Amino acid sequence: MSGAGAFGLEAGDATPLVAHASAILSRGDFATAAEALTAKMTAAGVSRLMVHSDNPFDILRAIDAANRTGADLFIAHTNLPETHIDAVVKKFGVQMIVAANDRATEESAVGAASGLIYMMTSGTTGAPKIASHSLNALMSRAKAAMHPGNRGAKWLLTYQPTGFAGVQVQLTAVVGRGVVVAPEQRTPAGFLEAAKANGVTQISATPTFWRAFLMVIRPGDLNLRQITLGGEAADQSTLDRIKKAFPEARVTHIYASTEAGVVFSVHDGREGFPAEWLETETQGVTMRVSDGFLHIRTPNAMGGYVSDTAQPKLDDGWLATADRVEIRGDRAFIVGRDDSTINVAGSKVYPLMVEQFLLRQAGVIEAHVYGVSNPISGQLVAADVVIEPGLDPAATRSAILAACRENLAQYQVPRAFKVVDAIAVRESGKKG
């Protein structure tokens, strides 16, 4: 099968599309590779495909080829154990795996192909679940985000390339005739080097990424037009630091998930979102709060998990998230996930709320709050913080703890508290 495919790319188009390591691949290179993969799939009768690569070139050509042939596509994280990948291949009858060296498996497709894209969650609380999406739904939000400032943009790929947010960034670049820039080294310095070398103009990343990135970037390093925060709730201190560092850039924070898709975008520079968006349709999405948790009704939501019996979609068409919401004044705030709650002698502590308090303290540039077991109370609150270079760790620690005791409930005050050099970040760009 030939033609422009889902992305409208044509062989011979020399416009750059992917900058990965030291290679620059054009839209024409991509079209030729997608057509070749399509021919290979057709010849082999492949209706179940998997891409197992962090290279945007592999991911995008797999999406395009699966769309051209009507095959199902599984987008698999590369950090999972091989035994997990093998189990997915066997269970769903994946017949071909796209990577640096494409290879056929010995499996037979299980059931008829539906032309859907199956994406893995980050697996924050266990093995990743697999959510189904249509390419049309994924592309619709990328097209909706295509304001003039995003056309021809150069996007730094900070998210896990195989995750929902990473794929969304790649699709946005394709739709807007932009470039996806994937660094060779996924460290703050590696991201900065790739961004400078390729003249990146847009960066979408988690707040955790941004706090680390702000530590290595210097004034004048980048001329950013668009800055987006997602994957975690954006706190005011981080939004303020970004706006101070890049006063000319448009700053947006979004709420999105593998299950719900992209839900809403906030552009006013304030944390949280307008409370009036609840119960009314905003940006094509309707939201409500039920028993303290955010429910969403959106055309961009997944079709469901492919194999898990527990489904977050309710009978009345709403998607039940695990995110707890609080209303303060005219704003609604995501305060934490129910499955990450720390239970201190029956009192619930949401780590995100304590982290945001710590990030507002003088000298704190990153914080991680988590629970530790305790024989008396069940759990206690623990916190690791990174402080600005040059500060006295002991004095800063004492000042932060004093502020905690003065402003937080007793059960929220960290009982184990460390000043550390860095906080571990997972492939998804989130802490933990």
Which CATH number, 3.40.50.720, 3.30.300.30, 3.30.70.330, 3.40.50.10600, labels domain 342-431?
A: 3.30.300.30
Domain 16-137: which topology?
Rossmann fold (3.40.50)
Per the CB < 8 A criterion, the answer to whether 26 and 15 are in contact is: yes
- List, for residues 233-242, the tens digit of each pLDDT value: 999 999 999 9
Beta strands in 221-313 (DSSP E): 226-229, 250-257, 261-266, 273-274, 286-290, 293-297, 304-305
Q: How sure is the predictor about 128, in pLDDT bands with cuts at 50, 70 and 90?
A: confident
Q: What is the mean pLDDT of the chain?
A: 91
* Residue 149 binned pLDDT confidence (cut-offs 50, 70, 90): confident
Model confidence pLDDT, tens digit, residues 344-396: 999 999 999 999 999 999 999 999 999 999 999 999 999 999 999 999 999 99
Cα–Cα distance for residue pair 171/254, rounded to 1 Å: 17
What pTM, to 2 d.p., does this model score?
0.89
Q: Which CATH superfamily is domain 140-337 in?
A: ANL, N-terminal domain (3.40.50.12780)
Higher pLDDT, 173 or 112: 173
pLDDT above 70: residue 199: yes
**What pLDDT score was predicted for residue 147?**
76
**Longest CA span, the chain:** 69
- What gap in Å lies between CA 431 and CA 231, rounded to an integer? 11
CATH topology match: 16-137 vs 140-337: yes
Question: Hey, where are the domains in the chain?
Answer: 16-137, 140-337, 342-431
* pLDDT tens by residue, 311-356: 666 667 888 888 999 999 999 999 988 778 999 999 999 999 999 9
Task: Give the percent of the chain with pLDDT over 70.
Answer: 96
